Structure 1
């Protein structure tokens, strides 16, 4: 069997289609707007003041992106009832869907489902917040899990933030060895590189306007460095990576 055939996946393999959420299926980040919606402008503004110093430390490279996110979750969600957040997430989905979701992204999800593929979101945003979006799309969800004790959020992440290599590990935990699938993936930030590298068919900023797409080169996890394997994504998945690529959760 040739290297090209190995990289394409087993000939009779089931399709696994994996979508990043923030910035890929949506026009912008969803978690911070959710916090503003859930807590109201006044409370949101007061709590965001607490994030100034952690944000400055992050910009100065004194803490990591994961540590900054952990601080944001601690600041807003420690001691909050899980059920209350879940209810606010449902309301946020209803209020934000039309302006937040990319129409072509929604259509692509529908097309993947119609093709018989196994379809899932794989996102760094909290699964508790994204669950209503995944349910409306009719697909599965893998996201960052929040620690809950006796129905109350502790403000801590359970396990790892679901970005970078953690996305691949979480997918493997749910679906098994990924080489048994013909895997398709859509992403738009540095947090999606490992996900895209694991896919035989990778789509970089596929639903963005052309001027936002940039160019990307990733090293394939299950093979050597190659350009995109599909004609429609080839123009946007080779070349250098934009430096401003990591502004969202991934």
Structure 2
């Protein structure tokens, strides 16, 4: 029996919001909280559902990372991934993650976060990340995305671009947020 498994990352496999945690890690608390104050109108708009998720995320990325050297960004991502992710894994979900790997299931992480700060950790398990891709020009982050934000229906679209789901007898999906609802519909067994 051929089984594929999709895990959402933030709030499911990882207990926190990795974008916020990575930003705190890479920019420091003072810069992080000052930036949040400056971005507060957009964050409130997001919570009130009057400002879109993707636009808010782009404002956030631009504020904190625009014109960052991609090589330096990747170094920060690697350091975060290999020192911080393990500390904040959701134990029950992580146990299921490991069980699927032990059973030789094909496992993916599907996330709205950037793969750069997850892959150094996930690569240790041979697990690929499907996520939002950051735009880079001349080795500098532009503050934009080179793909759509991997959230909601975009998660399903990105999965189907890469994988023929008809080849699998079982499809397990682990997701618990509003950005996972559509992904749960592809499951032949959702958790």
Q: TM-score, normalised by structure 1?
A: 0.72
With normalisation by structure 2, the TM-score equals 0.92
SS at match of 2:51: coil
Which residue pairs with 1:43 in the alignment?
A: 31
Distance 1:34 1:193 in 2: 25
Q: Report the alpha carbon displacement of residue 89 of structure 1 after superposing the two structures with TM.
A: 1.4
Alignment correspondent of 1:114: 102
Corresponding residue number in structure 2 for 1:179? 166
Gaps of 5+ in 2: none
| 1:87 maps to 2:80 | no
The answer for the alignment partner of 1:57 in structure 2 is: 45
- Structure 1 unmatched ranges of 5 or more: 1-11, 204-250
Kept in 2, the 8 Å contact 1:85–1:129? The answer is no
- Matching residue of 1:140: 128
Normalized per residue, which structure has more helix? Answer: 2
Q: How many residues align?
A: 190
**RCO comparison, higher one (Cα < 8 Å, 6+):** 2
Q: Per the alignment, in what secondary structure is the counterpart of residue 104 of structure 2? A: coil
The aligned counterpart of 2:64 is: 76
Counterpart CA distance in 1 for 2:43 and 2:12 is 24
Higher radius of gyration, 1 or 2: 1
Instruction: Name the SS for the 1:50 alignment partner.
Output: helix
Structure 1 runs of 4+ with >6 Å offset = none
Deviation at residue 99 of structure 1 after TM alignment: 2.6
